[in-house]
Amino acid sequence: MANHKSFYITTPIYYVNDKPHIGHAYTTLACDVLARFMRADGRDVHFLTGTDEHGQKVEKSAAAAGIPAKQFCDQVSENFRAMNRLLAISNDDFIRTTEPRHVRASQAIWQALERAGAIYRGSYSGWYAVRDEAYYAEDELTLGPDGRRRAPSGAEVEWVEEPSHFFRLSAWQDRLLAHYAKHPDFILPESRRNEVISFVRGGLKDLSISRTSFRWGVPVPGESAHIMYVWLDALTNYITAVGYPDVDSELYRRYWPATVHMVGKDIVRFHAVYWPAFLMAAGLQPPARVFAHGWWTNEGQKMSKSLGNVIDPFALVDRYGPDPVRYFLMRDLPFGNDGDFSHRAMVNRMNGDLANDFGNLAQRVLSLVQRNCAGRVPLPGVLGDADEAMLGMLDSLLGAMRHSFERQEIHVALNDLWRVIGEANRYVDAQAPWTLAKTDPLRMATVLYVLAEAVRNLALLAAPVVPMGAQRMLDQLAVPAEGRDFRAYGAAGRLQPGTPLPKPLGVFPRFDAKASPAGQAAG
């Protein structure tokens, strides 16, 4: 049983047949921010991401490329690891469904389901379009004048039937509804929870969980003509990574059930309906939460391959830098909602929030210290009301952000953080240390000490979102490595007066249109 200090967070495993796009980056990024925050806060974090490498499409793409499927996966899976490096993702593990540990876990959960009587043999049939490699429901089809049925895509369909194993999902309707009722936060945001509940209330059909039409996948134990079908194989990755089927293993006991499965809104059902049903049927605990985030549009347009406007995270980071991209994606919309990416909004955030508000705050404070305190942390005198108020706002900020992050309200946490950054800028202006330098050097030292503390604490809290810039700020305050988590927050980690500081350098540069033409598309 996972203890309350542990925090196991996962991204979906990404289908290797796809190129990494902003949606993948976004999901992973949200997990990274949460994982970094929790780690800094002393939680025992396990952050998992990876790639889904099975299925007919992969099999075909590999064949088309003329290479073995495994080799194909090795190549394309690497694209996702490259994306992670690019965005400074701090995952603890990267799982691939082609790994032996995962084949073992998938077959083990299959056998557990079989023992529980949750699986039976039958046959899967439906209207299949060879061209689309997909099944369609009767009501999606149109009957042409030639008497042939066609899919919405225009592809001709034919009635096919193949033997298959089924999972008794229909038996889980009441237990799932009871689970949702008992755990109101199992699915967030609430609107997604409503959708799932209404879906389950509508009745559940048994689920086909094996296929014989392709080979690239996990063989069904004892029946290798059958391949485990996508979702059972894919979802199992979350327990593979913590050691399943060794439920007594150190990892499993520490981290299962998962704290949060982060998913896009398109795959909520698989995570909030099928997955808990699989787990409960296998005698395992369901995860504590499934959080579904929204989708991005690009300059108001839906992104699609045919429109050619899919945002490439590599191009994005190349243009704006990793910290600004991370910040923008986490800040510009309520987490859970859909958002729109635009160059204008991106630059507004980058320049307004990062460069002007935060970067410039650090720069002006550090420059004042450098020039007026001989480049050392000043020695504060007695604190006045304004000083206490400033430090007090900082002290209460950690608790507020903790509360928001607990519910994945990343935007609320950032809003709170930037409100205090604003307070710090106002404090600078109100105290005018540049004037005190001439009239009251002792008072100036106190003000600059409070401000240096403000920058230190703000950098600690900003680090999960903008790790590179925050670390550079802490470097400039000569904060030692062991002083960079929340144990050092507030009074516990005050700067030592007299500590020599390096020359300040700008953090969070403004976006320069000349260096990167504004007219150029981001994607």
Partner RNA sequence: GGCGGGGUAGCUCAGCGGUAGAGCAGGGGAAUCAUAAUCCCUUGGUCGGGGGUUCAAAUCCCUCCCCCGCUACCA
Q: 3-state DSSP call for residue 405?
A: helix
Closest CA to 368 of 459, 85, 360, 508: 360
CA dist., res. 466 & res. 37, Å (int): 11
Minimum CB separation of residue 70 from RNA in Å reads 18
Alpha-carbon distances, residue 207 vs 163, 170, 171 (angstroms): 13, 8, 11
Q: Which is nearer to RNA, 337 or 396 (CB)?
A: 337
Which of 369/488 has CB closer to RNA? 369
Residue 417 tokens read as 């953080």
Q: Which is nearer to RNA, 255 or 427 (CB)?
A: 427
Integer Cα distance of 76 and 96 in angstroms: 11
Please state, as a whole number, how many other Cβ atoms lie within 10 Å of the Cβ of residue 165. Answer: 25
Task: Find the shortest distance in angstroms from Cβ 390 to RNA.
Answer: 13
Q: Which is nearer to RNA, 7 or 26 (CB)?
A: 26
Name the residue nearer to RNA (CB basis): 45 or 424. 424
Distance in Å, CB of 358 to RNA, minimum: 7
For 458, the enclosing helix (H) or strand (E) is helix 441-462
**Which structure tokens are listed for 74?**
């090795």
Nearest residue (CB) to RNA, 330 versus 362? 362
Task: Give me the least distance between CB of 40 and RNA, in Å please.
Answer: 22
The SS3 call for residue 293 is strand
**Helix extents (H) in 41-189:** 56-65, 69-86, 100-115, 173-182
Nearest Cα to Cα of residue 30 among 332, 349, 469, 254: 332
In the complex with RNA, which residue's Cβ is closer, 23 or 483? 23
List the structure tokens of 290.
Answer: 């499934």
Write the single-letter amino acid at 117: G
CB of 384 to RNA, least distance (A): 18
User: Nearer to RNA by C-beta: 381 or 506?
Assistant: 506
Alpha helices by DSSP H, 360-440: 360-372, 385-406, 410-431, 433-439
**Shortest distance, CB of residue 226 to RNA, whole angstroms?**
14
129: which 2 tokens? 């379009």
To the nearest whole angstrom, how small is the minimum distance from the Cβ of residue 398 to RNA?
21
Q: For binding to RNA (CB under 7 A), which residues are involved?
A: 12, 14-15, 18, 23-24, 52, 55, 57, 124, 134-137, 169, 191, 194-195, 198-199, 202-205, 207-208, 229-231, 234, 264-267, 269-270, 332-334, 337-338, 340, 348, 352, 355-360, 362-364, 367-368, 371, 422, 425-426, 428-429, 432, 434-435, 506-510
Q: Which residue has the tokens 């670390």?
A: 471
Compute the least distance from the CB of residue 225 to RNA, in Å.
18
Structure tokens at 159: 């009635």
Token code pair at residue 4? 């309350």
* Residue 330 to residue 351: CA distance in whole angstroms: 16
Query: Whole-number minimum distance, CB 281 to RNA, in Å?
Result: 14
Minimum distance between the CB of residue 42 and RNA, rounded to whole angstroms? 29
89 vs 507, beta carbon nearer RNA: 507
- List residues bridging with 293 in a β-sheet: 264
Report the residue number, 182 or 205, with the smaller CB distance to RNA: 205
Q: What's the rounded Cα separation, in Å, for the pair 362 and 500? A: 16
Q: Which two tokens stand for residue 324?
A: 């600004």
C-alpha–C-alpha distance, residues 96 and 83, integer Å: 16
**Least CB distance from residue 459 to RNA, whole Å?**
12
How far, in Å, CA of 313 to CA of 304, rounded? 15
Query: Which residue's CB is nearer to RNA, number 142 or number 194?
Result: 194
